[in-house]
A and B are shown apart, each in its own frame.
Chain A
Amino acid sequence: MKRRIATLLLIAVMAITTGCGANAETGGAVPPPTAQTQGGGPREGLDGTKFTETRHITVEVFDRANDGGSKPEDNFYTNYIQEGMLRDHNVEVTFVTVPRWTEIEELNNLLAAGTAPDICLTYSYPTVQTYANMGAVIDLAPYVDECKDILPNLWDLLGERNIYWDKDPKTGSIYAIEALLASLARVNTFVREDWLKTLDIPEPTTLDEFHNMLTAFRDNAETLLGADADKLVPFSISYDVGWRAETLIVSFVPDSITDKTRYIYGFDDRRLLYPNYKEGVKVLNEWYNEGLIWKDFALYGSGDTTEENMMKAGYIGAYSHNIDNAYRNGEDSIDANLKRNIGPEAGFIAVDPFPNDVGKYKKYVSPPIDRKVFFPATNEEPVASLLYLDWISSYDNRIFLQYGEEGVTHETQADGSFKTIAASGDKIMNSPNNIDYVMTLNGHKLKDQALTFKTLAQGYAGVDSRYIELAYEVALTDIVPGISVNVGVIEAENGIDTSLAKKRDTFLNQSIVASTADFDRVYDEGMSDYLASGGQAIIDERAGKWSEFFGDAEMLP
């Protein structure tokens, strides 16, 4: 009997510890409505640009968790910023880390708990908009205008274009300031230069040539990889097909696409709704079935390094990615690894193989905007926070943060350009040119264009600047910058971008791995599900807004 009771007790304990398992993870602390500290105007307590009493702000910084990196919230560069802000503005700065790859979830949690940093940044404007709709984001419009004279560096770097980018046409509110994207070069297709030489194939300039090249890689696996022949992947993509095959897919978009079409069908940042997108995906489907595409691409999630390791090991023939993907990260770059693992001749080169219907190599790039900087309503120091942005944007400060110390992270050349040196230890930069600290700027912006370009090409320690120049040249060929269609909030976009992006990835993945005969069915079903789940509502609302603001016009005024 005792044993039986003991058994029942044990069952009870196990049942409690295993639990019902229902996940109701919402809720959490809700902050009280914040009282804006506006008594006496925004300049209260300021003597010139310096506070008479020390103020305190918190600033978001991405944690990229790189190998050998330093603590993103406490290192040589954060000390530089903290000392400078205290000296120049009497503002104490604390950094708060947010993981780079799950930034939206983390920000959601911080905002919902009322503990978000005073200065937040994200790549997702819909996230800002969602919280602005709840009144949880400070309207920056009055501050940026009233304090214009004490924010000279910010206005100088970003200009009206970026500061007013998100200004609501009706209410005039500004919930986020758009950082400047200095170079619009964005995406490249890379192929193994040494493989082209081994197989005596010229660099591909058309889709057919590219396809033939991939086929040749596949068929000559023994020559190229010897014993590892079965590991060869001619073309690799990730689950994020729209991004990783973008150069190929958008080459099917008709050259004649108008601003109106680009706006109405432009919600998805991978351009999923653009005309003829399906044709591009169909090519991938055919290639997949010919064994030219990495079979496991859909299994690995965001931030997984399996694919990158395959590139570094030399198994991948071609891929498409960020403009400088093969060369960035110094000693740990794909290029450096290839040279170490295979030999000095191994390496990737940028090519431009996908002309559109009129033979142009169009690449749809972002508008000159980058991260969105916003202040949550819990920020009690909007002016101190703006002074922080101004401080970061000042030429001398951002140059130091981007290029570091002379002789440690860069060498100044005779012409005044900077050549990057790979650093380690506490002066290592956790992100390329400390982009995570220089939150108002992405890329190089020196005194003039020529210097900027030279610095750019020398920005990759250990890489022949010829490759970098070529990469930028290719990436800038026939670029089409994004357009700013400022028609206010599209209600249908509220809170839906992440679930729609997941749907997009899901059905693109499924249609690529479908048999060629099934492709149309899988793609069309996926697309109609996407449209039914909110995509069509966005298209309709955008179409309505366009005709409200621009009438029948096909192009922006």
Chain B
Amino acid sequence: MLKRGGRVKGRTSAYLKRYWMLYALMLAPLIYFIIFKYIPMTYIQIAFKKFNITQSVWEMEWAKNNGFEYFIKAFSNRDFLYAVRNTVMLNVLDLAIGFPAPIFLAVLLNELAFKRFKKITQTIIYMPHFLSWVIISGLALQLFAPTTGLVNTALGKIGLGPIPFLNESVHWVITYIFIGVWQSAGWNTIIYLAAITGINPELYEAAAVDGVNRLQKIWHITIAGIKPTIVVLLVMNLGRILSSDFDRPYALGNNLVSNVSDVIATFVYTNGIRGSQFSLATAVGLFQSVICVIFLLASNAIAEKFGEHGIMS
């Protein structure tokens, strides 16, 4: 026994002697994560405590109702429930419309015969991804405002009434979703294009020999080839159903459509950051994170199943 232990010990020290530099290298990112990700998590307590800026987070008094005062407050707040509803609604629509768009686009790009045209197109459709939402909302106002917007002015010239792109709830949701598609579809094609290049070209050649037409090739080879990628991405997106961007709904929203544009992130901003109700905002943020983690873990489990299936086929 002793002998064996000694051997293990000897092996470990030899191992460490040989590889200590790798561990030293890993130390830097570890410290980074501890300082910037884990230590700040101690402030999650704020959700359960009565926030006071002059006290350290450990000294703050516990909130009422066993610390759950602010959770109760949030869930009895109608605005918060609306924000949750809107967050889910906008994310589901994004998923339904925004998710298939890059797949479609990637397949179209893949079918282009002129390589230079394909490259230029790709570059152009990536570009909106690099614009901030503040700039995009400025563009949206210039284009879609009812009286001064370019689109509505043009429609007015040919005798069509202004379309309330930004100032009526249903239209706003549509505008919001499609601006999102415009902004991100191009960028998201990268993954699918990469997946498509992974498809064995012999399959196409064999299909051509068998006299398969183009649409059949797309459906049975291209789409089938990238199916695992699609499934993985879909499941990952499902995990984000309750998470919300701040800048997109905040920049595009306005008072006339706040019944659909107020999401959890903007609720946190208005009540927490602006209204100095830090405990309430932290409670809401924590709730959102917990739901996010649950969704992510669940979707991860599903992803593993589908992943195996995807790799097997």
Contacts and interface: CB of A to CB of B under 8 A. Distances in A.
B254 interface: yes
Given A24-B282, A25-B285, A499-B275, A533 B79 contact: yes
Nearest to A127: B276
B273 A7 contact: no
B276 A130 contact: yes
B162 to A, nearest CB: 8
Contacts of B311: 4
A134 B273 contact: no
A414 interface: no
Interface in B232-275: 232-233, 236, 239-240, 243-246, 254-256, 258, 264-265, 268, 270-275
Interface string B207-236: 000000000000000000000010011001
B274 A26 contact: no
Contacts of B270: 498-499, 502
Interface string A227-238: 000110000000
B209 to A, nearest CB: 24
A23 B275 contact: no
A22 B292 contact: yes
Given A25-B285, A506-B255, A510-B256, A108 B197 contact: no
Interface stretch (A298-306, A424-432, A548-556): A298-306
Contacts of A14: 190-191
B159 interface: no
Given A135-B54, A510-B255, A21 B167 contact: no
Contact of A33 (B54, B78, B272, B285): B54
A298 B255 contact: yes
Contacts of B148: 231, 296, 306
B52 interface: yes
A21 B244 contact: yes
A4 B198 contact: yes
Contact of B240 (A20, A114, A295, A506): A20
B276 A495 contact: yes
A3 interface: yes
B122 interface: no
A32 B53 CA distance: 9
B78 A299 contact: no
Contacts of A62: none
Interface string A97-118: 0000000110011011010000
B160 to A, nearest CB: 14
Given A23-B244, A30-B56, A11 B233 contact: yes
Contacts of B236: 11, 15
Contact of B145 (A8, A22, A299, A506): A299
Given A22-B285, A296-B147, A114 B243 contact: no
B78 A529 contact: yes
Contact of B273 (A22, A34, A105, A496): A105
B146 interface: yes
A496 to B, nearest CB: 6
A244 B210 CA distance: 73
A506 B79 contact: no
Contact of B289 (A22, A300, A532): A22
A329 interface: no
A130 B277 CA distance: 9
B47 to A, nearest CB: 9
Contacts of A496: 275
B123 to A, nearest CB: 18
27 contacts: A3-B194, A4-B198, A8-B232, A11-B236, A20-B289, A23-B246, A23-B264, A23-B265, A23-B268, A27-B43, A27-B46, A30-B56, A30-B57, A33-B54, A33-B55, A105-B274, A109-B273, A114-B53, A134-B51, A136-B54, A300-B141, A495-B277, A496-B275, A498-B271, A499-B274, A499-B275, A510-B255
A34 B268 CA distance: 29
Nearest to A233: B147
Contacts of A495: 275-277
Identify whether the interface residues of B are mostly helix, strand, loop, or mixed.
helix
Contact of B229 (A11, A15, A131, A298): A11
Contacts of B277: 495
Interface in A235-267: 239
A69 to B, nearest CB: 22
A502 to B, nearest CB: 6
Given A22-B243, A31-B54, 13 more contacts: A4-B198, A7-B191, A8-B232, A11-B233, A22-B244, A23-B246, A27-B44, A136-B53, A499-B274, A499-B275, A510-B255, A510-B256, A533-B77
Contacts of A108: 273-274, 276
A368 to B, nearest CB: 27
Interface of B: 40, 43-44, 46, 51-57, 77-79, 141, 145-148, 156, 162, 166-167, 190-191, 194-195, 197-198, 229, 232-233, 236, 239-240, 243-246, 254-256, 258, 264-265, 268, 270-278, 281-282, 285-286, 288-289, 292, 296, 311
Nearest to B296: A20
Contacts of A497: 275
A437 B176 CA distance: 43
A513 interface: yes
Nearest to A509: B255
Given A11-B191, A21-B240, A114-B53, A26 B254 contact: no
A295 B147 contact: yes
A312 B46 CA distance: 49
Contacts of A28: 43
A30 B53 contact: yes
Identify whether the interface residues of A are mostly helix, strand, loop, or mixed.
helix
A91 interface: no
A358 interface: no
A296 B146 contact: yes
B285 A24 contact: yes
B269 to A, nearest CB: 8
Q: Which of A8, A10, A24, A532 has the most CB of B within 10 A?
A: A24
A377 interface: yes
A498 B254 contact: no
B73 to A, nearest CB: 11
Contacts of B40: 27
B56 A32 contact: yes
A155 interface: no
Q: Which of B53, B147, B246, B292 has the most CB of A within 10 A?
A: B53
A505 interface: yes
Nearest to B57: A30
A23 B287 CA distance: 11
B151 to A, nearest CB: 13
A251 to B, nearest CB: 24
A499 B268 CA distance: 11
Contacts of B194: 3, 6-7, 10
Given A11-B191, A20-B296, A498 B54 contact: no
Contacts of A239: 254-255
Contacts of A299: 141, 145, 166-167, 254, 256
A294 B256 contact: no
Contact of B53 (A20, A24, A131, A499): A131
A298 B254 contact: yes
Given A26-B272, A298-B167, A134 B54 contact: yes
Contact of A11 (B162, B232, B264, B289): B232
